[in-house]
A = this chain, B = another copy of it.
């Protein structure tokens, strides 16, 4: 424990909090961070004074408002989401289906926005959730537009299986990615859960590169893919433009 650096110890306190542990007492923080109670107490006090953590009336700690304000500056987090929200709302209004915005982090997608309306059922992904690239529509859209080396490394596997329909064969995944590049949309059919289908399109940034993906998730049984494709592509292009992307001009006939 004495070999850990000071930044490492402080960050381990923050890392003690996750989706399954959003509220922790001091003892739990010390245990999860691998720190003595004395050290944990000192670090938690510093983080609380700064506003990164908040202590409630029962002595339990939560992630604080100051961290949230700081996170609002993350270009791949709230900043992107803020640019995208009107277009996601329009997509939701046009389809009344679950609408998502996601970015890539290593071999996973991270959902940074999720609009489902109050009555939406069936799909339970939260903001901040992660999912492997090859299973989801947004992941396929992001993977298909990443650099060839990174794609090949990912396709080489291992590719986790979630349903009997999850594509876990490298060759088949490569063909799917080529199809995504050709059509401009990615369709994940029953690859995450056996009852859901998603249609996704890539979001471009200022430099032209793909920075995010937008999708709708619908029940597989009555999915009208051809009707969803234009709406998803339109939303993705709207977000791309708002993020500063300018499409290559089409040659005039």
Contacts and interface: CB of A to CB of B under 8 A. Distances in A.
Given A78-B127, A86-B118, A70 B11 contact: no
Contact of A127 (B82, B118, B128): B82
Interface in A68-101: 68-79, 82, 85-87, 89
A52 B11 contact: yes
Interface in A18-43: 18-19, 22-23, 42-43
A67 interface: yes
A58 to B, nearest CB: 11
Contacts of A19: 73
Interface stretch (A1-9, A154-162, A172-180, A245-253): A1-9
Q: Interface residues of A toward B: which range?
A: 35 or more
A201 interface: no
Interface string A94-138: 000000000101000010100111100000001110000000000
Given A10-B10, A117-B86, A63 B73 contact: yes
Given A65-B103, A78-B68, A105-B65, A73 B7 contact: no
Given A7-B10, A10-B7, A11-B46, A68 B62 contact: no
A18 B74 CA distance: 10
B69 A67 contact: no
Contact of A115 (B62, B85, B87, B126): B85
A7 B46 contact: yes
A23 B68 CA distance: 17
Given A7-B46, A68-B112, A22 B75 contact: yes
